[in-house]
């Protein structure tokens, strides 16, 4: 069956822009003061899984796709799918990856007309998200996040932006938590600066009780400027005719009962036996679960390699066939309504006290600084004589390999400078002055440091991947220039976007596609060595490490 945009307009002739959903205390409310419950479904085609073992898998994560399909860029597919989303009775979809370069007007407008909000993850697979193996919060990641926000800021049905999905999953990588919290802090500051009231969220992996509760406390603690607004849990433990206690939902609900922000099941659905009955939905939308959670996202509308999907498509992609999971989910959603209490007037945005680092969650309370593009560009231009050629700087894999090589050379040289300047430690709260910079600038720094220790032309070659300035600065002049770039810069501030928020343009009927831009950030951090400890650039560690902002 095919549906045209005109047909959709006929189905929803009186639709207007969806009202803003806000958070008061630990609950969501619509403008009338009624509680809002997320009754959603994951809406993201599965990309191709990376062939090689990645740091993500090594550190306990699932294989990440090596590409993705933007589901909101195809007017044809949205036109096909929205009537089925309506049949499910959903009021929200969760979308995991989009290409901010593409046009999303048709899909977003059609979803809005159908009464469907969007929870949008702003990270991207591989190089566009915080790396749990070696976390960083950089200018390139911040620019990628604000770029996506800018592309979607004009749509009234954006409910929330998720700044991470299952980044932290064990105590061994809980040092990534301060970087996730810094991403929430800076994304919230940017949203306020452009007048957006969209919420900022995080989706956590379900783990053992103590770690699960400690992580939730950490990411939701502090005042509104640093805490997430919407804390998600990806949970698949309720199967068949399970109950509140046999599913483990009793311990989850009790463990999250002290949270002062809204919580939801960011993914749910049995994964051990089918067909799925979705009997957790009546529990999710009634007390005692609804006293803590504000609904959830069923996984997944699109087919997956693990058979979690609810529909299949014809060979030409034009028609949809639903399965029993789809039918059962629609029946449960359409028959479930959450209680309209407590009243919004009874809520206040209180702050949860932040936990100290512990054996359960090894995360410090000093957050990384706001990535400062001006400082990174200034140092790169004025203080680094050895720089990567453009073809290399735009190749994330090559940049990572060269950082490894240059750091190894530095460690074996007589230089007092090492790669500590480009690293950050979420446990100790010490962040090098260049830890916030994009990987290509970090590469320029370590290559320049090696050249400074061995000032011959061949020291700035690196297999033809770097060039030396015609008038290279000496060490003293480089230090002076870098100090000037760093001087007087606050550790946190309201970010500005590299691109302004978009304005409505003509509808695009282009098919969903993979990302056409390759951010050189995030995952490259896993390629940095961890053993180098020595003098930071110009002794500037005092500027950022001492000024790292503790959670308020």
Distance of CA 529 to the CA centre of its chain: 24
Burial class (CB in 10 A: 0-12, 13-18, 19+), 348: exposed
Active-site choice (267, 280, 374, 476)? 267
| 166 labelled catalytic | yes
CB of 524 closer than 8 Å to CB of 174: no
Whether residue 234 contacts residue 205, with contact meaning beta carbons closer than 8 Å, is answered with yes
What's the CA gap between 507 and 107, in Å, rounded? 9
**What are the tokens at 252?**
């989850």
Helix axis angle, 177-193 to 209-220, nearest 10°: 30
475 contact partners, CB below 8 Å, separation of at least 6: 452
Cα 68 from Cα 71, distance rounded (Å)? 9
What is the dihedral angle through the alpha carbons of 43, 47, 50, 51, rounded to the nearest 10 degrees? Answer: 130
Of 266, 246, 241, 249, whose CA–CA distance to 328 is shortest? 241
The residues, any chain, with a CB within 8 Å of residue 31's CB and separated by 6 or more, are: 19, 20
Cα distance between residue 169 and residue 13, in whole Å? 45
Q: Give the helix ranges, DSSP H, for 291-438.
A: 324-334, 373-382, 390-393, 396-411
DSSP code of 73? S
Dist CA 319 CA 146 (whole Å): 35
Q: Is 144 among the residues known to form the active site?
A: no
Q: Is 100 exposed, middle or buried (0-12, 13-18, 19+ CB in 10 A)?
A: buried
Residue with tokens 């193996």: 133
Q: Are strands 466-468 and 386-388 parallel, antiparallel or unpaired?
A: antiparallel
Secondary structure of 417-477 in HEC code, one letter for each residue: ECHHHHCEECCCCEECCCCCCCHHHHHHHHHHHHHHHCCCHHHHCCCCCEEECCCCCCHHH
Q: Identify the helix (H) or strand (E) that includes residue 272.
A: none
The active-site residue, picked from 64, 144, 166, 280, is 166
Residues belonging to the active site: 166, 267
């Amino acid at each position: 069956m095919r549906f045209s945009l005109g047909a959709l307009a006929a189905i929803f002739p009186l639709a207007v822009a969806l009202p803003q959903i806000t958070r008061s205390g630990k609950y969501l409310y619509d403008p009338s003061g009624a509680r809002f419950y997320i009754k959603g479904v994951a809406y993201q085609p599965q990309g191709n899984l990376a062939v090689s073992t990645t740091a993500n898998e090594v550190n306990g994560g699932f294989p990440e796709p090596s590409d993705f399909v933007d589901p909101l860029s195809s007017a044809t597919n949205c036109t096909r799918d929205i009537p089925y989303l309506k049949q499910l009775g959903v009021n929200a979809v969760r979308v995991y990856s989009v290409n901010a370069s593409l046009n999303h007007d048709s899909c977003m407008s059609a979803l809005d007309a159908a009464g469907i909000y969007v929870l949008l993850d702003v990270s991207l697979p591989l190089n566009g998200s915080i790396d749990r193996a070696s976390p960083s919060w950089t200018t390139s990641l911040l620019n990628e996040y604000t770029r996506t926000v800018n592309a979607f800021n004009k749509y009234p049905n954006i409910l929330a932006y998720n700044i991470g999905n299952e980044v932290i999953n064990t105590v061994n990588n809980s040092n990534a938590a301060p970087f996730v919290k810094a991403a929430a802090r800076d994304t919230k500051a940017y949203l306020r600066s452009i007048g957006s009231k969209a919420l900022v969220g995080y989706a956590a992996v379900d783990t053992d009780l103590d770690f699960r509760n400690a992580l939730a406390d950490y990411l939701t603690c502090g005042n509104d400027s640093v805490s997430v607004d919407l804390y998600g849990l990806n949970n698949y433990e309720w199967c068949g005719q399970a109950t509140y206690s046999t599913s483990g939902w009793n311990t989850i609900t009790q463990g999250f009962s002290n949270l002062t922000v809204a919580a939801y099941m960011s993914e749910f659905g049995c994964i051990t036996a089918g067909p799925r009955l979705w009997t957790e939905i009546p529990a999710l939308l009634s007390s005692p679960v609804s006293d803590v959670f504000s609904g959830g996202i069923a996984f997944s509308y699109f087919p997956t390699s693990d058979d979690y999907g609810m529909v299949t498509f014809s060979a030409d992609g034009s028609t949809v066939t639903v399965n029993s999971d789809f039918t059962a989910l629609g029946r449960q959603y359409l028959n479930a309504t959450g209680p309209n209490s407590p009243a919004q007037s009874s809520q206040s945005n209180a702050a949860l006290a932040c936990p100290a680092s512990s054996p359960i969650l090894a995360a410090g309370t000093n957050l990384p600084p706001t990535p400062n593009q001006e400082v990174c560009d200034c140092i790169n231009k004025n203080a680094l004589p050895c720089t990567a050629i453009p073809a290399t700087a735009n190749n994330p894999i090559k940049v990572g390999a060269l950082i490894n090589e240059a750091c190894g050379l530095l460690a074996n040289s007589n230089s007092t400078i090492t790669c500590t300047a480009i690293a950050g430690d979420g446990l100790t709260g010490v962040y090098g002055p260049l830890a916030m910079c994009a990987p290509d600038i970090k590469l320029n720094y370590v290559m320049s440091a090696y050249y400074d220790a061995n000032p011959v032309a061949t020291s700035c070659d690196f297999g033809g991947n770097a060039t030396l300035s015609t008038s290279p600065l000496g060490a003293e002049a480089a230090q002076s220039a870098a100090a000037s770039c760093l001087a007087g810069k606050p550790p946190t501030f309201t970010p500005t976007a590299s691109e302004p928020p978009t304005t409505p343009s003509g509808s695009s009927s282009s098919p969903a596609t993979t990302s056409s831009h390759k951010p050189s950030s995030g995952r490259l951090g896993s390629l940095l060595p961890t053993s180098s400890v020595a003098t930071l650039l110009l002794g500037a560690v005092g500027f950022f490490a001492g000024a790292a902002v503790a959670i308020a």
